[in-house]
Each structure stands twice: as C-alpha cells, then as structure tokens.
C-alpha cells in the first residue's frame, strides 16, 4: 500500500476522519490486489514481527517475566468489559482530541517508552518519532533509546515528546539527563518506578541475551557528559574494571563479533570513528560496565522524588503506579500525573493487571491529575474501554515495535493509524462524538 499521508503535527483536528480515510485506503488498494503489509489483526501483527525479527529481538520485545501470566492477564482484563452502544445520536462530527499537560492533543494516544528499538530497525527511535509526529501522537522517548535525545529532537523538532528516566544510582547523571530533556524541548518527564531491579525475563535468560551488555540501548548514557566522565574515571582509577568481572568470557567468533559491536558503539565515548581505535580503547567496554553499575537503584524511596524537582521545571509523571494508595501519595508529593503500568508484564509474573485497578485509581484521583494507562492495549476498542474507565490518555507499547520491525517508520505509522481508526469507529458506533462524553456508562461489566 502507498505511504500514509502525514498530517500536521499537534493539530487538534488532525485525527478527524481517520477511520474513513484508513478504510478507504485499505479497500481501494485491495481492488488492485494489494493487502496491508502490516497486519491489522493484533495476533497476526505479532506473528509477522516474529518472522521479521531475529530470535533475540523478538524474545526481548514480546517476552515477559516468569511464566508471562501478567502479560496474559493484562490483555484478558479487557474481556471483562463490553462496549454498550447507544444508536440514534448524531456522531457525524467526531473529535478524538483530549487535554493533557496543559495542551490540547489531537488524539488520546501516547507512545510508551520502549528501549533498544535498534533491535527492531536500524532507524529505531528516529523512525518511531517521525511516525508519531505525523499523526500528532506524543512520543515518550526511553532512557534506553538507541539515539541520543537531541538527535530525536532534531528529527521531529516541532512534535511533542516526553522523556522517560530510569532513576540512576548517580544523581549527577539524573540531573544531566533531565537538563538535556528540558533543553531539547520535551514537554514532561516520566519517571519509571517499576524497574529498580531487572525482571526475571524467561525468554531472554534462555537465549542468554541482554542487549545492554552488548552496548545496545545505552545511547542516552554514552552521549552524556556526566556519564562520559564516570567512564573515564573508571578507566583511570581501576583499569581492570573496564573488563567484565569473572566468570571469564570464552573467546569464540560470537565474542569477537560482540566486541566489535561494542567498539562501534563506543565511538560516542572515545570520540573516534575508527573501529580499530575503539577496539584498542578500554572506554567502550568500560561504558557498558559503568552503565550496568549505575543503571538503577533499588534504594529509591518516595523521599528521593523531591530531588527531581531541583533537576527540572518540567511536569513529572510517575510510571509504574498500580496501587491506589501510591496514586494518592504521588499527588501528596506534588507529582503532575500518574502512569498506570506494570511494564507490560515484564517485571513481575502474576502481578496485578492494570485494567483491573484503573477504575479504583481513577475514583481516588478524581481528575486532580491526568492518568496515563498502559499494558495490554492491542486494539482501538481496548483504548476506548480504558478511556471509559477513567484514563486520560492511553499508551501504546509492543504493537508499534512490531510495526517498526516489519516495515520501519511506515510500519509504525500503519499500526498507529489502524489503532486510531478503530478507536474512532468504536467511539461513533457506541454513540459518542467526544471522549468527554465517555464514562463508565458507556460500558457493561461482562
């Protein structure tokens, strides 16, 4: 199918008519025998991505913690709700726009932060950012992205972006990352709270593959002056610490290939483009080891959050809230929004499915701050249900990574456009013209 026509970013009217345009494009292309390259069906989309990606990339993106029961519960939770349609209302002029963080947004969708998208496609975050911008959807750039935030900003300068922080063990590094986010034009900071330890990810463990140990997904760090200083200090004070600690790595063709990859990625810390120089330099290896040391801190508490206020003037949203008491505590400590998420079931096996706790949290928050919702959203109708249960905005995760793996920027755009089209159709068929009208009475408990 031909390229999807871009729309003006952040135009509140941008999403109007998205369902009719999408259906028309798909069915017209079908007349000449062309079917969508990116499957519309969510299960087929995942299967197509599995074919397009390496075993390691697919495992990393699709996998969850333990027996993946949280992941299944996240999607199953949507089956407990039904859309309750009300016909004979004029829904000819539907408007998908919402208010979020002081701005009118064309759609109620956001892109969740997904790290290491270079595993899905070489253009990674640049492709995702462009696709999101073309549909007026704000993009949350991950702390584990594959391109520095300034480069993503340059690719989509006028589009709305948020920066997601993993609170590092180094406060100087946290402050530096937030300074850069503000300077590069982000709208808000999203602090992710549920990854102070890396989840027990069965598929990655069975493949013995963690991208960060190969220098992938650490571009925000290697491009950061504070991090670069930490790396140089490490090499200066303890030259042996640049090498991985025991057990010793066996030298095989795969070890050599991984070493070359780390050396290539090391250009950001050595300042040299020569692979030979970077292979000889201890800095690239030290960058990986430094990252593994400072990536997160399990000692983080509510009291620490106050420091983030000193590091940025941007609004702060807490991601990874699943308990109503924590939502209220976030309000008490002056946070500007909460993001209900269980990290797509990647952290705890048999954890609380997010949709199950959304109504209670929404009741307790009572509109005082916006609520972003994610984990398990696979279709436009899922997004409708989450919005009806009290979410202000709905974040999309894995589906856009699948689109990226299948067809790069265009693949992301098709996935997002399909989600928006189905959301628009669901809104209209349910008998509503705006999300302001959609409350719990738009649903029935199954």
Which residue of 337, 344, 390, 405 would you call a contact of ligand FNR, by CB under 6 A?
344
State the distance between the two ends of the chain, measured CA to CA, in whole angstroms.
38
For ligand FNR, the closer CB: 265 or 319: 319
User: Which parts of 275-314 interact with ligand FNR (CB under 6 A)?
Assistant: none
Which residue of 377, 393, 406, 443 would you call a contact of ligand FNR, by CB under 6 A?
377
| Catalytic residue flag (residue 343) | yes
Q: Tell me how far apart the alpha carbons of residues 291 and 218 are, in angstroms, rounded to a whole number.
A: 8
Establish if 397 lies at the interface with ligand FNR (CB under 6 A).
Answer: yes
For ligand FNR, the closer CB: 70 or 426: 70
Q: Are 5 and 24 in contact (CB under 8 A)?
A: no
Structure tokens at 358: 């959304």
Q: Tell me how far apart the alpha carbons of residues 64 and 348 are, in angstroms, rounded to a whole number.
A: 8
Establish if 375 lies at the interface with ligand FNR (CB under 6 A).
Answer: yes
Give 434's DSSP letter: B
Strand residues in 240-386 grouped as ranges (E): 316-321, 337-340, 371-373
Kindly name the residue from 121, 196, 323, 343 that is annotated as catalytic: 343
Which residue of 107, 156, 220, 341 would you call a contact of ligand FNR, by CB under 6 A?
341
The pairing of beta strand 443-445 with beta strand 371-373: unpaired
Closest contact distance (angstroms) between CB of 360 and ligand FNR is 19
For ligand FNR, the closer CB: 285 or 378: 378
Q: What is the three-class DSSP state of 352? A: coil
The pairing of beta strand 81-83 with beta strand 109-111: unpaired
Among the listed residues 167, 446, 238, 197, the one whose alpha carbon sits nearest the alpha carbon of residue 346: 197
Interaction mask 132-161, ligand FNR, x per CB under 6 A: ----------xxx-----------------
Interaction mask 203-242, ligand FNR, x per CB under 6 A: ----------------------------------------
For ligand FNR, the closer CB: 339 or 435: 339
DSSP string, 335-402: -SEEEE--GGGTS-TT---HHHHHHHHHHHHTTSS-EEE-SS--SHHHHHHHHHTT-SEEEE-HHHHH
Establish if 114 lies at the interface with ligand FNR (CB under 6 A).
Answer: yes
Closest contact distance (angstroms) between CB of 120 and ligand FNR is 8
Establish if 192 lies at the interface with ligand FNR (CB under 6 A).
Answer: yes
Positions that interact with ligand FNR (CB under 6 A): 60-61, 74, 112-115, 142-144, 164, 192, 319, 341, 343-344, 346, 374-377, 397-398, 401
Q: Which residues are designated catalytic?
A: 343
């Amino acid at each position: 199918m031909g390229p999807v026509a871009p729309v003006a970013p952040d135009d509140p009217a941008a999403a109007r008519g998205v369902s009719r345009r999408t259906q028309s494009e798909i069915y017209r292309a079908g007349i000449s025998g062309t079917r969508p390259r990116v499957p519309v069906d969510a299960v087929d989309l995942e299967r197509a991505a599995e074919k397009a990606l390496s075993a390691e990339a697919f495992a990393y993106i699709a996998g969850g913690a333990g027996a993946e029961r949280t992941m299944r519960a996240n999607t199953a939770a949507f089956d407990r709700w039904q859309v309750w349609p009300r016909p004979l209302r004029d829904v000819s002029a539907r408007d998908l726009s919402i208010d979020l963080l002081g701005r009118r947004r064309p759609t109620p969708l956001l892109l969740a932060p997904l790290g290491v998208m270079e595993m899905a496609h070489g253009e990674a975050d640049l492709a995702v950012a462009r696709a999101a911008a073309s549909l007026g959807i704000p993009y949350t750039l991950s702390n584990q992205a594959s391109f520095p935030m300034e480069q993503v900003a340059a690719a989509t300068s006028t589009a709305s972006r948020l920066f997601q922080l993993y609170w590092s063990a180094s406060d100087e590094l946290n402050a530096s990352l937030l300074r850069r986010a503000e300077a590069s034009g982000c709208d808000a900071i999203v602090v992710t709270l549920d990854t102070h330890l890396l989840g027990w990810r069965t598929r990655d463990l069975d493949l013995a593959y963690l991208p960060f140990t190969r220098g992938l997904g650490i571009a925000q760090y290697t491009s950061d002056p504070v991090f670069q200083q930490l790396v140089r200090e490490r090499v200066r004070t303890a030259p042996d610490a640049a090498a991985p600690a025991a057990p010793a790595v066996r030298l095989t063709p795969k070890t050599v290939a991984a070493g070359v990859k780390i050396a290539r990625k090391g250009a950001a810390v050595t300042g040299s483009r020569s692979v030979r120089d970077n292979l000889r330099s201890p800095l690239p290896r030290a960058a990986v080891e430094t990252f593994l040391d400072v990536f997160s801190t399990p000692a983080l508490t509510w009291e620490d959050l106050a420091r983030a206020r000193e590091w940025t003037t941007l609004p702060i949203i807490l991601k990874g809230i699943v308990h109503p008491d924590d939502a209220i505590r976030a309000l008490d400590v002056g946070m500007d929004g909460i993001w209900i998420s269980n990290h797509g079931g990647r952290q705890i096996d048999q954890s609380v499915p997010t949709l199950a706790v959304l109504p209670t949290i929404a009741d307790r928050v009572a509109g005082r701050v916006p609520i972003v919702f994610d984990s398990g959203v696979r279709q436009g109708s899922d997004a409708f249900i989450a919005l009806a249960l009290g979410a202000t905005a709905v974040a999309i995760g894995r589906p856009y990574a699948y689109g990226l793996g299948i067809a790069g920027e265009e693949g992301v755009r098709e996935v997002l456009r399909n989600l928006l089209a189905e959301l628009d159709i669901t809104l209209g068929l349910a008998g509503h013209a705006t999300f302001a009208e959609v409350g719990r009475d738009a649903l029935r408990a199954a």
